Structure 1
Amino acid sequence: MAERKSSEERREQIIGATLRIVARKGFASVTLRDVATEVGIAHGLIRHYFAGRDELVAAAFDHAVTAELASDEQLLAGLDPIAALAAWFSTTPEDHYLVWIDAWSEAPRNPALAAALERHHRDCERILADVIRRAVAAGAASTADVDADSRMLTALADGLAVQAHAMSIVDAREADDIVFGAVEARLAIAPGSLAAAGRAPARGQWLG
């Protein structure tokens, strides 16, 4: 018999089980039956909390990334702007980024997941823009359009992550070197500053 839990506890338990399955098998392989087995509850109980599989997958992704980005922002706030840029752009662990890549692949077939992805992509651009503004205010960087810089550099970092983690075209060190150089050139930061600040990713804790 399933342990009696509050509605919120059960919902979080279901989300946690979903994320574990995503980490092992990918978004496309998630089924309500597998989630129920992972939790140890009746299959039909999940529909008390989520209308269907797509809504569950999107809710799990949203829950995880919301917590991840809150942790990232707290970490970045404690760093000087150049160290924060280095932390933000350092290559994240492979298992973390493969989940994002898998989510991008699944999103065209899951509108709820697509909406969560777009929302959190904009969150990432906003967080980066805030760090760039801090760097400019500190006199460590210069730019005419913070938001445009954030969009371009986010796109570059995402593309390099796909090359590194999904295709093995570049390794993590090379990916860092490329994106660090682009950040420094785009923001008029002294070359080598980001590497000197250290390669320690702020991102990637949520499946750890």
Structure 2
Amino acid sequence: MNTTNTINNSVTSLINNAISTALSYTEYRELMQNLVASNKSTGVLQTDALANYTMLNDKRMKRLDKTAKLDATTIYKTQQVATKTTWLVLTESWCGDAAQSMPVMQKIAEQNPNIDVKVILRDENLELMNHFLYNNTLSIPRLIAIDNDTQKVIGNWGPRPSKLTAIVEAYKAEHGALDAEFKQELQVWYNKDKGQNTIEDLVQLLPLK
């Protein structure tokens, strides 16, 4: 038996099942707003902290939905994509990194009907998530890029833009973990970057000839 093919078939099946129940970006934003109104978060575990993170993330996404900008080169490249592609995003409402990157994903997808952002919750899709761990962790968001015709995974991204990932890994190497002060610095970095590093990374996922 070819183990590689078995694994590939398993991942393809998990992806197809996930896409069939996935939310559009607009539907996910509506879910976030409903959660905020109910003082809740996604997931089985409900705490005041997670509800508060969800509220903050909804505000961030609302702002970025309006303010995130793509440069002319990115728009041009995105419009060249001829392959129907799904960007399947694993996330949770309380994830601060997801709130910073998902509006950028949607902005890119809006430039070309061949790119479709679909959103699923990590904790409801752990079997799939386990195939796309980052450094053996369940870190989110994780974007899986899929060629719709071949059903092959053509790339993945996350949980953070590449430049910030380097900063985080250096901090972990020196301090062992991310403390509250550093997590605040992460948000400052995102605000200064304005999604540009995320855009640079995501362009690399586009199936350009």
Taking structure 1 as the reference length, the TM-score comes to: 0.30
> Is the helix fraction higher in 1 or 2?
1
Greater C-alpha Rg? 1
- Larger relative contact order (C-alpha < 8 A, sep ≥ 6)? 1
Higher strand share: 2
